[in-house]
Amino acid sequence: MKGTGQFRFQGDNQWHVDISGIMSMSFSDLPASFQHKCTFLLGCDGDREWCYIKNDKDKEPYYQERDLKSIRKKNLKFLDPFFCADVAKGKLAENFQKREIKYLGETAFEGKTLHLFGFSMSNKDSRSKSNSQFEIAVDAETLLPVYSRVVTFSQFGVSNSCYRFGIKSTNKTFAAADFQQTIDKDAKPKIMGTPAEGYEYFFVTIVDGAGGRMTVRGNGQSGEKGTSSSGVN
């Protein structure tokens, strides 16, 4: 299955994420009567954070908005989770080694030279007792990610995921309006002033997959009741 996502970010407090293609792809193998498309957008213009979700069979969207200051925990990782861009090119392997990530050498891909890095991760606490092997490919010239891949082995079998990055622009200045919800201008968001009963604080998680896994969770709440959010892991 294939799906695309679009990520735009500026600083620590502005982002616009469209994972509609990823949220819809899960239904591509089902009969036509079961398939449906999902619009899934997350954004923050620097002041207000919002989450917009609408399935094509729903009359009304799920649309909520929060004051950015009310969000206690933000987990945001875009393009460079290993801080490659801040490292001199000759020190790139050393930068990964500090994180216990092995340098796997160079490879040619679509006419470019890439540096390959890899690491393993075990999850002994989960029911599946899984082990995952990660491969990260970084452009040797720009030090930006080209693709990341993870193969997971568990008692349920083997899963293989790959994220391919197409970077349209970097170091571009965006206006606040570029981070607002504009796909459905008639929709009015429900303002979430405080977490719902049983939840203590708000959170947002946006990890674009450059480190091997993608996680996008909007309208997140956490507390004694557990964790509640929408998106993709």
Give, for all 233 residues of the chain, the pLDDT tens digit: 577 889 999 998 999 999 998 887 654 555 665 556 889 999 999 999 999 999 877 788 999 999 999 999 999 998 888 887 777 767 888 888 888 888 899 999 999 999 999 999 887 665 667 888 999 999 988 888 999 999 988 877 888 889 999 988 888 899 999 999 999 989 999 999 999 999 999 999 999 998 888 999 999 999 999 999 988 87
Q: Which sequence spans correspond to the domains of the chain? A: 6-78+169-232, 84-164
* pLDDT for the residue numbered 171: 86
Q: What is the pLDDT of residue 42?
A: 96
pTM above 0.75, yes or no: yes
pLDDT digits (tens, 9 = 90+) for 134-177: 999 999 888 889 999 999 888 778 888 899 999 888 888 999 99
- Summarize pLDDT for 193-202 with one digit per residue, the tens: 999 999 999 9
Give the 3-state DSSP-derived string for the chain, with helices as H, strands as E and coil as C: CCCCCEEEEECCCEEEEECHHHHHHCCCCCCHHHCCCEEEEEEEECCEEEEEEEECCCCCCEEEEEEHHHEEEEEEECCCCCCHHHCCHHHHHHHHHCCCCEEEEEEEECCEEEEEEEEEEEECCCCCCEEEEEEEEEECCCCCEEEEEEEEEECCEEEEEEEECCCCCCCCCCCHHHHCCCCCCCCCCEECCCCCCCCCEEEEEEEECCCCCEEEEEEEEEECCEEEEEEEC
pLDDT for the residue 126: 57
The per-residue pLDDT for 90 is: 75
